[in-house]
Amino acid sequence: MHSPTRGIAACLLCLALALPGIAAADAPSPKAVIAERKAENLQDSAASDGDGKPPTRAELITPPGVQAVDPAGEAPLDDPITCLARSIYWEARGTEATDMEAVANVVMNRLGSPGFPDTVCGVVKQGSEQGSCQFSWWCDGRADDAREDTAYDTAKEVARKALNGQLKDRTGGALFFHHRNAAPYWSKQFTQTFEAGDFIFYRPEGDCPC
């Protein structure tokens, strides 16, 4: 007959031995850590207009680095890559690349613009405190995990280019957009700047970054 105390001790020992491995499996990879750090620096530069110089090669997020971030699509939205990629994914997954890139343009255009937060996650989550989110997917009450691997990989690559400053702003400085099947009241208050496959884009009257 085995002693209950010895059995409990053995179980605790097994857990102690297993926990380091579990923690290691949950920890972000070195590539992901580097990519997130670069993204934060690029975000800060975009929000403040920086010194006008393009990022150096060493400062750019790499394709392997961006794909190492949030590989399961389940990470908390607390870094620029995940917030931007998840917003692109939920707003435009299943659409043409042009649509996904234009959604990224809007998020990046809002960085540092008056009335908008100066972080990507702040932009994406803006309005949630009042229950009126700027990006509806963020407060629609549904899970925010990305389940379609190919679409999420594409969204992360678009996010990488946007944060690197390598994405052409085809929207003409747009700060707002809506699906073409919708007709929000606010659209009449702004200047239409661009139409993609599924979306129409706007900026405030006379607010041209040209």
Q: What does the pLDDT look like over 69-121, one tens digit per residue?
A: 999 999 999 999 999 999 999 999 999 999 999 999 999 999 989 889 999 99
Residues 6+ apart with CB under 8 A from 204: 175, 189, 190, 191
For 116, the token pair is 């908008």
Give the C-alpha separation, 125 to 136, whole Å.
9
Tell whether the model's pLDDT for residue 167 goes beyond 60.
yes
Is domain 29-204 given the CATH code 3.50.50.60 in the classification? no
Q: Is pTM, for the whole model, over 0.85?
A: no
Tell whether the model's pLDDT for residue 128 goes beyond 70.
no
Which CB contacts under 8 angstroms, 24+ apart, belong to 110-115? 110/175, 111/43, 111/46, 111/47, 112/46, 112/47, 112/48, 112/49, 113/175
Give the model confidence (pLDDT) of 15-61 as tens digits: 333 444 434 456 889 999 999 999 999 999 999 977 778 999 999 99
**Sequence ranges of the domains in the chain:** 29-204
| Predicted pLDDT of residue 13 | 34
> Scanning the structure block, which residue is given the tokens 């579990």?
22
